[in-house]
């Protein structure tokens, strides 16, 4: 059952016959319309806008390469898909800098410590994939149904591709994805289940438009909006993690919920706020 769809104008599309059953299942899961020229009795709908207006809708296109998110208005950005076996994710896994990366330092990864990580705001899974590549066991949560279907599709394709790549296979085995609400998950954690590290990267809409905003962020702004309960999520996380909570923020952003961390690691565009709860094993 879908948990969260914030945009009303979204459809599932399919133009390849062998992918039509998968597209039907996806449309049924999300409770949205399937639009396909493969239906002999159907029509392909085209949504027109007045001159100067933007069509804010999206389509999840299912084809033989997986699932991709397309804006109905191509002026917004290009297609978005999750691909752990190519592109930026693959490059970062192979050449990202290992334990020297800022995220590794923030989480506390070292030769003596490979923590279990609970990523409560998984998004498209990039940071979780990096942590799994470093050897961490990562459990990902994402509650938005549209983002979840892209993430699940990427994990399934990478898992299939990993049959011929033992290094990728080991990484994918360390990733466990759950579609669900993070706060509900935290409330069910027992003392024995407490993760070593809890990782948060909450979404906040940018107030200013910028050409530097990535297409993924543009789509997230339209689909996810702001994580208005992120302050409550942080409070629950601090009470649930074993060693530390790490919050990823823009380098110039205010502290999440006004809570001052123990310390921060700041880069050019990104800052990691670390709430240290007890000393990490060495």
* pLDDT tens-digit map of 118-174: 999 999 999 999 999 999 999 999 988 999 999 999 999 999 988 888 889 999 999
- In sign, the C-alpha dihedral spanning 127, 165, 90, 280 is positive
Q: 267: domain range?
A: 87-276
Name the percent of the chain in helix, strand, coil, to the closest 5.
Answer: 35, 20, 45
Phi then psi dihedrals of residue 67, to 5 deg: -120, 135
CATH number of the domain that 196 lies in? 3.40.50.150
In this structure, the answer to whether residues 112 and 231 fall within a common structural domain is yes
E-strand spans in the chain?
10-14, 33-35, 58-63, 66-71, 116-119, 137-142, 175-179, 197-200, 244-250, 263-266, 270-276
Both 16 and 130 in one domain: the answer is: no
Same domain, 92 and 67: no
Q: How far apart are the first and last CA of the chain?
A: 43
pLDDT in tens, 192-242: 999 999 999 987 644 444 544 566 666 667 777 666 788 999 999 999 999
Whether 78 is covered by a domain: the verdict is no
Tell whether 31 and 123 lie within a shared domain: no
Residue position matching structure tokens 């905003």: 213
Bridge partners of 10, per DSSP, are 58
Q: What is the pLDDT of residues 34-77, one digit of tens each?
A: 988 865 444 434 343 344 444 568 899 999 999 999 988 877 77
Query: Model-level pTM?
Result: 0.86
In a domain, 47, yes or no: yes
Q: Do 140 and 263 fall into the same domain?
A: yes
The neighbouring-strand residues paired with 34 are: 12
Contacts with 43 (C-beta within 8 Å, 6 or more apart), sequence order: none
- Count of domains in the chain? 2
| Residues 123 and 147 placed together within one structural domain of the fold | yes
Identify whether residues 177 and 208 lie together within a single domain. yes
Residues 51 and 133 in one domain: no
Q: Are residues 132 and 213 in the same domain?
A: yes
Nearest of 75, 69, 33 to residue 52 by alpha carbon:
75
State the chain's mean pLDDT as an integer. 84
Residues 50 and 161 in one domain: no
Contacts 24+ apart (CB under 8 A), 49-56: 49/73, 55/9, 56/7, 56/9, 56/222
Q: Are residues 154 and 214 located together in one domain of the fold?
A: yes
Q: In this structure, is residue 161 part of a structural domain?
A: yes
Instruction: Give the tens place of pLDDT for each residue, 73-89.
Output: 877 778 899 999 876 77
Angle between helices 87-95 and 126-133 (to 10 degrees): 30
- Examine the fold and report which residue of 38, 71, 104 is the final residue of a domain before the chain moves on: 71
Name residue, tokens 């110039």. 252
Assess whether 264 and 212 both reside in one domain: yes
> What is the three-class DSSP state of 26?
helix
Residue 46 lies in a domain: yes
- For 33-55, b/e burial (b = at least 16 CB within 10 A) is ebbbeeeeeeeeeeeeeeeeeee
């Amino acid at each position: 059952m879908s948990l969260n769809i914030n945009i009303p104008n979204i459809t599932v599309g399919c133009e390849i016959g062998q992918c039509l059953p998968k597209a039907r299942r996806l449309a049924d899961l999300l409770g949205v319309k399937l639009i396909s020229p493969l239906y002999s009795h159907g029509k392909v709908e085209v949504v027109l806008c007045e001159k100067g207006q933007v069509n804010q809708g999206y389509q999840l296109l299912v084809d033989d390469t997986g699932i991709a998110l397309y804006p109905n208005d191509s002026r917004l950005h290009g297609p978005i898909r999750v691909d752990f076996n190519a592109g930026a994710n693959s490059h970062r896994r192979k050449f990202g800098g290992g334990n020297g990366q800022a995220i590794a330092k923030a989480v506390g990864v070292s030769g003596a410590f490979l923590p279990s990580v609970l990523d409560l705001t998984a998004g498209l899974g990039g940071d979780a994939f990096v942590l799994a590549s470093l050897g961490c066991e990562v459990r990902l949560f994402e509650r938005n149904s549209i983002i979840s279907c892209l993430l699940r599709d990427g994990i399934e394709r990478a898992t299939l591709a990993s049959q011929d790549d033992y290094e990728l296979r080991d990484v994918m085995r360390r990733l466990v994805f759950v579609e669900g609400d993070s706060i509900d998950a935290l409330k069910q954690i027992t003392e024995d289940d407490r993760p070593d590290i809890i990782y948060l990267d909450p979404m906040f809409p940018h107030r200013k438009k910028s050409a530097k905003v990535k297409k993924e962020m543009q789509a997230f702004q339209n689909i996810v909006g702001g994580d208005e309960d992120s302050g409550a999520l942080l409070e629950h996380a601090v009470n649930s993690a074993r060693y530390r909570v790490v919050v990823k923020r823009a380098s110039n952003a205010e502290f999440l919920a006004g809570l001052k961390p123990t310390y921060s690691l700041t880069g050019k565009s990104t800052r990691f706020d670390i709430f240290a709860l007890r000393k990490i094993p060495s």
